[in-house]
Every structure is written in C-alpha cells, then in structure tokens.
Amino acid sequence: MSSEPITEPDERGLVIYVGQDVAGHWLVQDNCRKLEGRFVSRSAALSFAHAERDIYHARLELSALTMVPLIPFGPVAAEEHMLLRAA
C-alpha cells in the first residue's frame, strides 16, 4: 500500500495562454506556471504556442487580460553578469 496521497487530475488539463504584458511583449504561459516564452510578435508567439500545444496535448487560449511575466525582464545588474565558479 502506498503512502502517496491520491491527487485528482486537473479536469481542464494543460492550457497554454498567449497574450501581451503591459510593455506590449507577447507572452506564452501555461496554467501550471512551468512554461514561459517572450516574443516580439503575435505570429512568433502563436507559432511557439502551437508547437508546445502539439507536444503536450494542451488547449490553446488567447488571453484578453494583460499577462504578467513569470520571469522578470528588467535589466540585469552588473554583478549578475559574472558566473560563479564551482567549488
């Protein structure tokens, strides 16, 4: 007998959203918050979203709401440009 809890699957399945952020960039995100892409055109975003939809058998939806990036796209600080060396 397993001690793992039984989780109910999401009835909606994976959903991939395509929309714009406040800066006008086109974003592609999934409802599980594991996928994100940023694009300069609607056609590029849709092309990526269609490919991901086919791979993951997801549903595709256009977002009427302003989307918020999961990954910040602000300038990188000078100290973040350096890669830390492994010990």
The phi-psi region of residue 24 (left if phi > 0; otherwise alpha if psi is between -120 and 50; otherwise beta) is left
Give 12's pLDDT tier (boundaries 50, 70, 90).
low
Please check whether residue 31 lies inside any domain of the structure: yes
Please check whether residue 72 lies inside any domain of the structure: no
Please check whether residue 33 lies inside any domain of the structure: yes
Please check whether residue 80 lies inside any domain of the structure: no
Q: Is the pLDDT of residue 8 over 70?
A: no
Strand order in the sheet with 15-20: 36-39, 26-30, 15-20, 59-62
Please check whether residue 21 lies inside any domain of the structure: yes
pTM value > 0.75: no
Could you report the per-residue pLDDT of 28-59, keeping only the tens digit for each? 999 999 999 999 999 999 999 999 999 999 99
Please check whether residue 52 lies inside any domain of the structure: yes
Distances (CA, A) of 47 to 37, 39, 54, 60, 83: 11, 10, 11, 11, 33
Range of the domain at 25: 15-65
State the total domains in the chain: 1
Q: What is the pLDDT of residue 2?
A: 43
Please check whether residue 75 lies inside any domain of the structure: no
Please check whether residue 46 lies inside any domain of the structure: yes
